[in-house]
C-alpha cells in the first residue's frame, strides 16, 4: 500500500488496529539502507502491521546544509520495503506535511542545547515537529528509531513523554559496515579515500569503550585518546567528542555508571556522527 495523504494514512492505521493488529512505524527520510532494514525487522517482530514513512523533511536541514543533494532513491526504497515485508509506505509531499500557513513548531529544550544542537541551528525543532506530526497523522502503537542518531532518539523520547503521546519508542542498535563504519544515507557522499579513513571513528570509539571497561574513568583522557586516533588517520575536522549521561546528554566529569561517548566529525565534505555506550566496570 502506498499512502500519500494524511487522511489515507490515518484511516489505514486505524483499519489495521480495528482488525486487532499492533501498528509499528519506521520514520525515515528515504535513501534506505541496511540500518533502516533492521528497524523494519524490529517492527515486524513486534507488530502485525508496519508502516515506513519516507519524507525528506526540509524543516530539519539548517541553512546551507545538504537538503538539495540529499539522496532520493524512491524506487529502490519501495523495493527494499517490499523485500522486508512492510505493510504500507507513507510518502507525502511537502504541501501535505506543511500546508500553507503552518505556524507551529515543537521545541525540546535542554537535550538540544549541546552536541549537534548548536552546530545545526533549527535541526532538532525540525525533527521534533515532523515526528510529532507523523505520530498524529499515523496513530501507531510503536515507533522505531536507530541509536546511531542518539541525540535524536533522546529528543523523541522526551517529546513523547512531555506531550503524553500514546506511542512506545523503541531504540535499535546501530548497524555497521564490516570495518565498523556506522551505516548512514550520507555515507554516499564519501570519496573512496574518505570512506577508507572514516573507519577511524568507530575504531576510536571501540578503543575508548575498551579502556573504560578496564577502569579508566577520566573523560578528558579518553576524549584526548579518541581525538588523537581520529587525527592520526588523516585530515578531519572534529566538531565534538563528548562523554555524556545517556539520558540528560550532559557531559560527565567522571565515568562511574552508564555513559555515552558521542562524536561528530567532518571527513571531506561528509559530516559523520557516531556513538557507543561507555559503561564503567561493575555498573
Ligand atoms: O532520522 C531520520 O531519518 C529523520 O530525522 C526522521 C526521524 C525521519 C525525521 O525526519
Nearest 5°: phi and psi at 26?
Answer: -120, 95
Instruction: State in Å: Cα 27 to ligand 1 middle.
Output: 6
CB 175 within 8 A of CB 38: yes
**CATH 3.30.1300.10 occupies which residues in the chain?**
185-275
C-alpha distances out from residue 246 to 39, 146, 195, 197, 224, Å: 21, 15, 28, 28, 20
144 DSSP β-pair partners: 170
Mean of pLDDT values over 225-249 = 98
| Per-residue pLDDT band at 261 (split at 50, 70, 90) | very high
The yes-or-no answer on residue 36 being catalytic is: yes
CATH C-level class of 185-275:
alpha beta
Ligand 1 atom at shortest distance from the alpha carbon of 55 = 10
For the segment 18-65, what is each residue's pLDDT rounded down to a tens digit?
999 999 999 999 999 999 999 999 999 999 999 999 999 999 999 999
At the topology level of CATH, where does 2-172 sit? Rossmann fold (3.40.50)
Q: Where are the beta strands (DSSP E) in 4-80?
A: 23-28, 49-54
CB 76 within 8 A of CB 32: yes
Residue 42, pLDDT score: 98
**CATH 3.40.50.620 occupies which residues in the chain?**
2-172
Instruction: State in Å: Cα 218 to ligand 1 middle.
Output: 33
Is the CB of 149 within 6 Å of ligand 1?
yes
Q: 87-111 burial by CB neighbour count: b if 16+ within 10 A, else e?
A: bbbbbbeeebbbeeeeeeebebeeb
For the segment 151-195, what is each residue's pLDDT rounded down to a tens digit?
999 999 999 999 999 999 999 999 999 999 999 999 999 999 999
Residue 20 burial class via C-beta count within 10 angstroms: exposed 0-12, middle 13-18, buried 19 and up: exposed
Q: Report how far residue 69's alpha carbon sits from residue 166's, in angstroms, rounded to the nearest whole number.
A: 35
Mean of pLDDT values over 95-118 = 97
Is the CB of 92 within 6 Å of ligand 1?
no
Look over the chain and give the mean of its residue pLDDT values, rounded to a whole number: 97
Q: Which of 98, 94, 88, 106 is nearest to 10 (CA)?
A: 88
Cell 576510536 locates to 204
Predicted TM-score (pTM) of the model is 0.97
Q: Which of 161, 149, 147, 146 is nearest to 124 (CA)?
A: 149
264 DSSP β-pair partners: 240, 273
CB 46 within 8 A of CB 22: yes
Residue 183 burial class via C-beta count within 10 angstroms: exposed 0-12, middle 13-18, buried 19 and up: middle
Ligand 1 atom at shortest distance from the alpha carbon of 27 = 8
CA-nearest residue, atom 1 of ligand 1: 28
Residue 282, pLDDT score: 83
Kindly compute the dihedral angle of the four CA atoms of residues 8, 11, 16, 18, in this order, to the nearest 10 degrees: -170
Contacts of 96 (CB under 8 A, 6+ apart): 4, 5, 6
Amino acid at each position: 500500500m502506498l499512502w500519500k495523504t494524511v487522511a489515507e494514512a490515518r484511516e489505514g492505521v486505524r483499519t489495521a488496529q480495528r482488525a486487532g493488529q499492533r501498528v509499528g512505524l519506521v520514520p525515515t527520510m528515504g535513501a534506505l539502507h541496511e540500518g533502516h532494514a533492521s528497524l523494519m525487522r524490529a517492527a515486524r517482530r513486534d507488530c502485525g502491521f508496519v508502516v515506513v514513512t519516507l519524507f525528506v523533511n526540509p524543516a530539519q536541514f539548517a541553512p546551507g546544509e545538504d537538503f538539495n543533494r540529499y539522496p532520493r532513491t524512491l524506487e529502490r526504497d519501495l523495493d527494499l520495503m517490499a523485500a522486508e515485508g512492510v505493510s504500507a509506505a507513507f510518502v507525502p509531499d511537502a504541501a501535505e506535511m506543511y500546508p500553507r500557513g503552518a505556524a507551529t513548531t515543537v521545541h525540546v529544550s535542554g537535550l538540544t542545547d549541546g552536541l549537534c544542537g548548536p552546530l545545526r541551528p533549527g535541526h532538532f525543532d525540525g525533527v521534533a515537529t515532523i515526528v510529532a506530526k507523523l505520530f498524529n497523522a499515523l496513530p501507531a502503537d510503536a515507533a522505531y528509531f536507530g541509536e546511531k542518531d542518539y541525540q535524536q532518539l533522546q529528543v523523541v523520547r522526551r517529546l513523547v513523554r512531555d506531550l503524553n503521546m500514546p506511542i512506545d519508542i523503541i531504540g535499535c542498535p546501530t548497524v555497521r559496515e564490516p570495518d565498523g563504519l556506522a551505516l548512514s544515507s550520507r555515507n554516499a557522499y564519501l570519496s573512496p579515500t574518505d570512506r577508507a579513513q572514516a573507519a577511524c571513528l568507530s575504531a576510536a570509539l571501540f578503543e575508548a569503550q575498551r579502556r573504560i571497561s578496564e577502569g579508566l574513568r577520566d573523560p578528558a583522557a579518553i576524549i584526548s585518546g579518541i581525538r588523537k586516533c581520529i587525527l592520526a588517520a588523516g585530515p578531519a575536522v572534529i566538531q565534538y567528542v563528548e562523554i555524556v549521561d545517556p539520558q540528560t546528554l550532559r557531559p560527565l566529569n567522571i565515568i562511574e555508571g552508564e555513559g555515552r561517548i558521542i562524536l561528530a566529525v567532518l571527513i571531506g565534505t561528509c559530516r559523520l556522527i557516531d556513538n557507543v555506550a561507555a559503561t564503567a566496570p561493575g555498573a
